[in-house]
A and B are shown apart, each in its own frame.
Chain A
């Protein structure tokens, strides 16, 4: 065998080589992470604001909050949300008046998670609009949730008022078969894109059930802060 003629590589040399490569790679990765972090954070903030402006066009200022079991806290100054927190965004207009709440709803669609942002009007306890954050639904079929006017009409005033004990929604938000909508809390599915339509309804229901009972008793706090 030719290997016996070659210089034997000692175990130390192998470990040293791997160590060397690891150190070089480690420095590169940490360096690029620190270098790009401010730009990436700014991009994320911008993307969120753009989403919020789409559903609440007169918005001026967006503040991130966490709704926990014990109340709501501003996200600023916290590195990561408490474990049971639901993230939501308080949206203020140019007069610093609370315009509404935006929150994310996410559920499995046909291809991947369908993530939408919905606007909530706390005065009337209705959802007033939705925008898609990300989805990989079939072009021309599932992605009609972006463009189908009749479908978007469902969210002009989708009823999400709380039950008398303030613990859950009075009527769970539900996507129903196309043409059978009978209550203001129901979503009329797009015919042919039922899976995606249902994902939107399910996501909003889950998010609203978790968020609104925590949020509504604390509204005064949000109205004052701006």
Chain B
């Protein structure tokens, strides 16, 4: 099958080309906002929305934008939807807005976005482009969530703000500090690499 279905496009970002664990893109929010599961999911969904909306618009306008001015146009489109998310979060919850802080605005500079617009949306019709982008977004959310859970459990003894271990738990504070982000990310990368290695060995072992 040469043309991937929309569902394949969607799955691409979640697993095969997971932006965090496979492509290792967008590390700034990955390390900065993953101190809790809720922050991680909110950041992931905000990025997913920006990805989906900007890739849809880029794809719709792909014939109208000459390649000489494409980067400027893509950045403008991405910045627009980041502004949309910024205002929307202010309207939904100020606590969340404070928790995510400058990182909402920094979605503009997330390389997953320009990467998707340039590598996929600019060359594909709106539907597959949007599916691919949303898949990437969910893959990103999943990655953030995986890191956020571990950091919140170890660093605060909680998950989704609910205390897990009772009064006597001594939080492992470094996990909610910046170094903890690096530790947990490294841990997950090791898990993914080990899994890939196991898979490729198994494929080699099967007689064809």
List residues of A whose CB falls within 8 A of some B CB: 9, 13-14, 17-18, 20-22, 24-25, 28-29, 32-33, 35-36, 39-40, 43-44, 46-47, 134, 136, 138-140
A134 to B98, CA, bound (A): 8
List, in ascending order, chain B residues with CB within 8 A of A44's CB.
94
Are A36 and B88 CB-contacts (below 8 A) given A9-B66, A13-B66, A25-B80? yes
Binding site secondary structure of chain A: helix
Residue of A with least CB distance to B97:
A43
Pairs A–B under 8 Å by Cβ, sample size 19:
A9-B67, A9-B68, A14-B66, A14-B68, A14-B69, A17-B61, A17-B66, A17-B69, A18-B72, A21-B61, A21-B65, A28-B80, A36-B87, A36-B88, A40-B87, A40-B90, A46-B94, A136-B101, A140-B171
Give the residue among A13, A20, A36 with the most B Cβ atoms within 10 A. A36
A14 to B76, CA, bound (A): 15
Give the residue among A9, A20, A29, A33 with the most B Cβ atoms within 10 A. A29
Let me know if B173 and A32 touch, CB within 8 A: no
Nearest Cβ on chain A to B88's Cβ, whole angstroms: 6
Residue of B with least CB distance to A138:
B177
Nearest Cβ on chain A to B58's Cβ, whole angstroms: 10
List, in ascending order, chain B residues with CB within 8 A of A36's CB.
87-88, 90-91
Are A21 and B91 CB-contacts (below 8 A) given A9-B66, A9-B68, A28-B84? no
Encode B120-151 as 1/0 by CB contact (under 8 A) with A.
00000000000000000000000000000000
Are A18 and B94 CB-contacts (below 8 A) given A9-B66, A32-B84, A32-B87? no
